[in-house]
Structures are given as structure tokens and as C-alpha cells.
Amino acid sequence: MNFVLFGLGVLFTKGVLWTGEDGGDRAMAMVARRRRRGEAAVPPCVLRNLFPADRLIADKRRRFMSDHLTPAEAETAFWKSLKQSNTGMLGIERPGYHHQPMTGFGEPETGTIWFFTRNDTDFARDVAAGGQMGMFCYQARDEKLQACIHGRLAIDLDRERIDRFWNPVVAAWYPDGKADPHLTLIRFDGDDGRVWVSDAGVLGFGYQILKANLTKSTPEAGGVADVNLG
């Protein structure tokens, strides 16, 4: 069996998977040899043998197909991902308002995300005005999960949360430590949102793109579900 994932540097041939620069070079060399012989650049065996290779993609991916991703699964995946890579874009839900990168600390049990900031920023002053609804847009570092969550914003100088989430990265922004007069904690009480999950990884994504192009179908990009964190 042979298959090539063009542009991704992946070649599978004779039971060996080549990736990276070496895979790309071998893939292009194989295509060149076939063209010199007057054969199709992509061998017919691709169509016969590639697509049964669904087993090459982890079983976990199939659990997250659109028809099977439940709100509970989506919410669990969101909180797990946020713990592993916790930076997203947070802003007030207002026309023309610019979101900004913020690092969040999640509490799944309460549906709350906490953000450290400073009270001398425009964002903190806007939140302090009260009654503000916000939106948190998130993409995992490994690009396997995206989310858009609505919620209520408030200033909440909760000392227990400050102690719990304090770390060297946070401390770098406050010269006077936890007693810094500019230290501010924003509380985001999550409400309704939407979560997209794809556990296929780079190889699985490339496989779906190749299959869609060769079979004139659409890729199975993963699952999506509406959630309510409140």
C-alpha cells in the first residue's frame, strides 16, 4: 500500500511511515518516478487501500464525530484542554470592542474562569463599571479544540483564588507580589457557548483532506456541541 499526503511531508509505502522533510522528499521522488514512466502521479491503489486505513487514526477521533459529541463530552474536553493550555482571547461583548489575550484558570465545578490583570488597564476599568457581559474565545495549543463561551464579567479580589492560582509567571507582572496595589482578578462566570473538538491530529487531518479530494466528499473535521457552563 502507498499513499502520499501532499504538502504535509508524509509518505506511507511498503509498511513504513515517513514523515517530515524525509517523507516529503520520498513522496515527491515517488511521484516523479511514476510520471517518468507515464503512470498516474497517485497510484490507483490509493483509492483501493487508503480509505480502509481508518484504523490508523485513533479510535478516540471517532468518538468526537459530529453525531456523537455530546454537550457533556464537549464541556469535559474544554475544561481539560484549558488546564493544559490556558490562554485565549477575552473581551466585553460590545460592538467594536477588541478582545485581548488573557490567561485563564478554570473551575469546572462552578463554571468559572479567573483572570489576573491590572487595575490600570482599560479592560479592568471597563469591567469594574459593572454589569458587563463578555466572550472568551479559545483555541488549544495543539489545535484539537476550539471554543467560544459567553459569560458575565466582574472584578472579584478573592484572596483564596489569588493564592491558589499564583505562580512565577503571574508574579512577574506584579513587582510587589500579592500585595501589589495594581493586582486585579477578573471573574468570568461562563454561560452558553459552543465547543469544537477534533482528536485526529495532523496525520488524521491530512488523511481527511486527501480522502475528501479523491472521493469528492467533505472531510470529517470532528465534532461540535453547544454547552452551558452555568
Write out pLDDT tens, residues 20-31: 445 455 555 665
The β-bridge relationship of strands 87-92 and 16-18 is unpaired
Asked whether the beta carbons of 175 and 107 are under 8 A apart, the reply is no
The reported pLDDT for the residue numbered 45 is 45
> Does residue 57 carry a pLDDT above 60?
no
The reported pLDDT for the residue numbered 52 is 45
The pLDDT mean for the chain works out to 81
The reported pLDDT for the residue numbered 145 is 94
Which of 49-58, 119-128, 146-155 is predicted least confidently? Answer: 49-58
The reported pLDDT for the residue numbered 36 is 75
Buried b (16+ CB within 10 A) or exposed e, 192-206: ebebbbbbbbebbbb
Span 41-62, mean pLDDT? Answer: 44
Which of 20-29, 68-77, 122-131, 197-206 is predicted least confidently? Answer: 20-29
Q: Which of 131, 151, 145 is nearest to 230 (CA)?
A: 151
Which H helix or E strand runs over 52?
none
The reported pLDDT for the residue numbered 221 is 72
Span 27-45, mean pLDDT? Answer: 61
Cell for 86? 490556558
> Does residue 66 carry a pLDDT above 80?
no
